Amino acid sequence: MKFINKIKSVLTLIVIALIVAGISSCGQQAKDSDAFRKGALSSDVASRVYVAPGEYDEFYAFVSGGFSGQLAVYGLPSGRLLRVIPVFSVDPEKAYGFSEETKPMLETSFGFQPWDDAHHPELSQTDGNTDGRWCFINGNNTPRVARIDLTTFETAEIIEIPNSGGNHSSPFTTENTEYVVAGTRFSVPYPQQDVAINTYADKFKGMLSFIKVNPESGLMNIEFQVLLPAFDYDLAHSGKGKSHGWTFFTSYNTEKASTLLEVGASQNDKDFIAAINWKKAEEYLAQGKGHDVPANYKHNVYDEATHMATSNQMNMVKVLLPEECPGLVYFLPTPKSPHGIDVDPTGEYIVGNGKLSADLTVHSFTNMIAAIDNKEYDTIIEGIPVLKFEKVLAGTVKAAGLGPLHTEFDGRGNGYTSFFISSEIVKWKVGTWEVLDRVSTYYSIGHLMIPGGDSKNPQGKYMVAMNKITKDRYLPTGPEVTQSAQLFDITGDKMELLLDFPTIGEPHYAQGISADRIVSKSKKIYKLEENEHPYVAKSEDATKVVRDGKDVHVYMTMIRSHFSPDNIEGIKVGDKVYFHVTNLEQDYDVPHGFSVMGFENAEILVMPGQTETITWIPSRIGVYPFYCTDFCSALHQEMQGYVRVSAANSTTELKWSLGE
Ligand code: K7E
Ligand code: CUA
């Protein structure tokens, strides 16, 4: 036993040394051998990712942008980038965070946040299957969860998560999207207060949040939070099938270190997986066990009828305390600072990937329930029973690689785990735990994704690896080389590399779904007659310019190939001009853009039937052109106009016209 522990600690040291060296062992070997690097690509590989011009891809892939804060949409198997959806970062291309309608989306209790770090897209599910309705994604830095509407591919809602710091174990869904969960990575003082950082162990707490999702509208609200010890809660996945009703969160830093965590949080041989019985939580809430706790957070909702977002101030959350709610939370000891946690399609197996380990630890849901029934506890921490490791363990995938991070499933009884340090994916058999195949990734893989790979019914044809480092895989572009994804065919016994493609930002998790679950629902236009924007002009007759003190409201329309009005006079230096621009088109794929010379703002790109507003405070007299920024017709270059700006004290009359 002692000897084994010694081996384990030596292994940990090696692992840490490798992490510190920041080098991937396999990657290094691979780099040395060009033939190996290119892989044994069979000659027909190109045809298997080739999507002929005019043809559609078979799958959508939603890939997180990491530090870009956005969500990128790719087609698979081609790897073609279809769209970048702005979520947590401003995007001047789409006026996201610049238009008056979208600015409220980025409001937080700290004010307007123009950026965040987005890691985990998660598709909504019905009966454990991806249903193509919504994609959720976490904002890591200023804790938030966003919901993207997959009829419009627009961010429809963002909710801030109070009592959290680093919203990383988020936003994983339950099998009918009853909840998406959000767990704090960094524990913070609870309640937030001015205290010495070395009071961490006493004053700091971890918080796991359960966000209820309205089954019709998708609207989110924080139903309850569970107060936990001051660990770091890293990732999550919910149970399904037999384990439906439970959600599992990995933790590290059960040592409660508050400095130099690379050493301090690597002391314990095992950290915990927190298993939350959310159905039990609902019972406790019904019994009035939830504490109303004052909280300060924003809930921002985009209304498709008014084409406008509203930011709402929220003031309360319900908090459940484990010591008052027996049976609500259990800890499952899991070796070596587990990172990813993944539940197999049957819901029986819970895979904890100890990132400082070579092995994968697989727990059994059945064993867990038996251990709970028999009270097989090691100890109790802050009211939470710690189950005996041997009693919940189902098996171990032994010596599979170095630095396991994340696991996905193919629906044929196989698991696929990414290994950051040894830079590879290992395929293993669920139940026997034998390693079946391994394949190198280039380089330093983080997450991997199989469409539906965390659902009840994976669509296990392709697998995407998302890599942190690409070094020599692409043409150099200065000090930083693109991050990238790699596509594999997983239909055979051996995983087969098909394609490398670059990604935006840093890809973390991704979700995939067969295109047919989305295509038929995709919106083509916004109906003009349904436009309830308060400043809409539904025809050219309705256009006007209205002065209200120093505010000037321009009700403008656009249609191929002119603006109405296209001549505006009587604007004065220091006015605040609101251009409320309605696109009168009712044809698919005909946006028009709008921008004014020198107006210190982004363009707006207005979709058919939509109204968007952009503001301008002119600082100099003159006559300034505006034009359509999206090449919309043969006479696109003619789609232009002028605004005349007069001195603040001038008597220039306010007037507007088209064709005079
Ligand atoms: Cu492993 Cu943020 Cu999901 Cu990245 S996390 S790799
Ligand atoms: Cu409208 Cu170009």
Nearest ligand to the CA of 121 is 1
518-576 per-position pLDDT tens digit: 999 999 999 999 999 999 999 999 999 999 999 999 999 999 999 999 999 999 999 99
Distance CA 602, CA 90 (A): 10
pLDDT band at 25; cut points 50, 70, 90: very low
Q: What pLDDT is stored for residue 253 in this prediction? A: 96
Residue 450 near residue 512 (C-beta atoms within 8 A): yes
> What is the per-residue DSSP string for 58-104?
SEEEEEE-BTT--EEEEEETTTEEEEEE-SSS-BTTTTBTTSTTTGG
Q: Residue 14: enclosing H or E segment and its boundaries? A: helix 2-21
Distance CA 31, CA 428 (A): 26
Nearest ligand to the CA of 466 is 1
- Tally helices (H) and strands (E) across the chain: 10, 46
Does residue 10 have a pLDDT over 50?
A: no
Question: What is the position in ligand 2's atom list of the atom closest to the CA of 629?
Answer: 2
Question: Is 193 exposed, middle or buried (CB count within 10 Å of its CB: 0-12, 13-18, 19+)?
Answer: exposed
Tell me which residue has its CA closest to atom 5 in ligand 1.
508
Where helices occur in 217-332 by DSSP H, the ranges are 261-264, 278-286
Q: What pLDDT is stored for residue 42 in this prediction? A: 65
Q: What are phi and psi of 167, to 5 degrees?
A: -85, 75
> What is the per-residue DSSP string for 300-356?
EEEETTTTEEEEEEEEEEEEE-GGGSTTSEEEEEEESSEEEEEE-TTS-EEEEEETT
Q: Is the CB of 606 under 6 A from ligand 2?
A: no
Q: What pLDDT is stored for residue 216 in this prediction? A: 98
**How many other CB atoms sit within 10 Å of the CB of residue 289?**
17
Distance CA 304, CA 614 (A): 18
Residue 13 near residue 410 (C-beta atoms within 8 A): no
Q: Is the CB of 245 under 6 A from ligand 1?
A: no
Q: What pLDDT is stored for residue 9 in this prediction? A: 47
pLDDT band at 149; cut points 50, 70, 90: very high
Question: What is the position in ligand 2's atom list of the atom closest to the CA of 630?
Answer: 2
Q: What pLDDT is stored for residue 261 in this prediction? A: 95
**Cα of 93 from ligand 2 centre, angstroms:** 15
Tell me which residue has its CA closest to atom 1 in ligand 2.
592
Q: Is the CB of 592 under 6 A from ligand 2?
A: yes
Q: Is the CB of 318 under 6 A from ligand 1?
A: no
Does residue 592 have a pLDDT over 50?
A: yes
DSSP helix, strand, coil percent of the chain (3-state; round to 5) = 15, 45, 40
**Cα of 281 from ligand 1 centre, angstroms:** 28
Question: What is the position in ligand 2's atom list of the atom closest to the CA of 628?
Answer: 2
178-195 per-position pLDDT tens digit: 999 999 999 999 999 999
User: Pocket of ligand 1, candidates 64, 186, 234, 447: which has the most ligand atoms within 8 Å of its Cβ, to mutate?
Assistant: 447
What is the gyration radius of the CA atoms in the chain, in angstroms? 27
Report the percent of the chain where pLDDT is more than 90.
93
Q: Is the CB of 632 under 6 A from ligand 2?
A: yes
Does residue 233 have a pLDDT over 80?
A: yes
Q: Is the CB of 580 under 6 A from ligand 1?
A: no
Question: What is the position in ligand 1's atom list of the atom closest to the CA of 447?
Answer: 6
When pLDDT is averaged across residues 411-417 and rounded to a whole number, the result is: 98
What 3-state class would DSSP assign to 255?
A: coil
Q: Is the CB of 559 under 6 A from ligand 2?
A: no
Distance CA 417, CA 448 (A): 8
Does residue 352 have a pLDDT over 80?
A: yes
**Cα of 119 from ligand 1 centre, angstroms:** 6
Q: Is the CB of 308 under 6 A from ligand 2?
A: no
124-128 own/partner pairs: CB under 8 Å, 24+ apart: 124/173, 124/177, 124/213, 124/218, 125/173, 125/174, 125/175, 125/176, 125/177, 125/455, 126/176, 126/177, 127/175, 127/176, 127/456, 128/175, 128/176, 128/240, 128/241, 128/244, 128/455, 128/456, 128/457
When pLDDT is averaged across residues 624-634 and rounded to a whole number, the result is: 98
Residue 117 near residue 66 (C-beta atoms within 8 A): yes
Q: Is the CB of 465 under 6 A from ligand 1?
A: no
**How many other CB atoms sit within 10 Å of the CB of residue 159?**
27
Q: Is the CB of 185 under 6 A from ligand 1?
A: no
**Cα of 528 from ligand 2 centre, angstroms:** 18
Strands 562-564 and 129-139, sheet pairing: unpaired
Quote the pTM value. 0.94
**Cα of 559 from ligand 2 centre, angstroms:** 8
**Which among 560, 561, 559 is positioned nearest to 528, based on CA atoms?**
559
Question: What is the position in ligand 1's atom list of the atom closest to the CA of 340?
Answer: 1
**Cα of 574 from ligand 2 centre, angstroms:** 29
When pLDDT is averaged across residues 436-444 and rounded to a whole number, the result is: 97
Nearest ligand to the CA of 454 is 1
pLDDT band at 31; cut points 50, 70, 90: very low
pLDDT band at 38; cut points 50, 70, 90: low
User: Pocket of ligand 1, candidates 117, 138, 184, 235: which has the most ligand atoms within 8 Å of its Cβ, to mutate?
Assistant: 235
Q: Is the CB of 631 under 6 A from ligand 2?
A: yes
Q: Is the CB of 533 under 6 A from ligand 1?
A: no
Q: What pLDDT is stored for residue 3 in this prediction? A: 39
When pLDDT is averaged across residues 203-217 and rounded to a whole number, the result is: 98
Q: Is the CB of 636 under 6 A from ligand 2?
A: yes
pLDDT band at 440; cut points 50, 70, 90: very high
Q: Is the CB of 580 under 6 A from ligand 2?
A: no
**Cα of 410 from ligand 1 centre, angstroms:** 20
**Cα of 117 from ligand 1 centre, angstroms:** 11
Does residue 637 have a pLDDT over 50?
A: yes
Does residue 351 have a pLDDT over 50?
A: yes
Nearest ligand to the CA of 634 is 2
Q: Is the CB of 355 under 6 A from ligand 1?
A: no
Q: Is the CB of 604 under 6 A from ligand 2?
A: no
Q: Is the CB of 568 under 6 A from ligand 1?
A: no
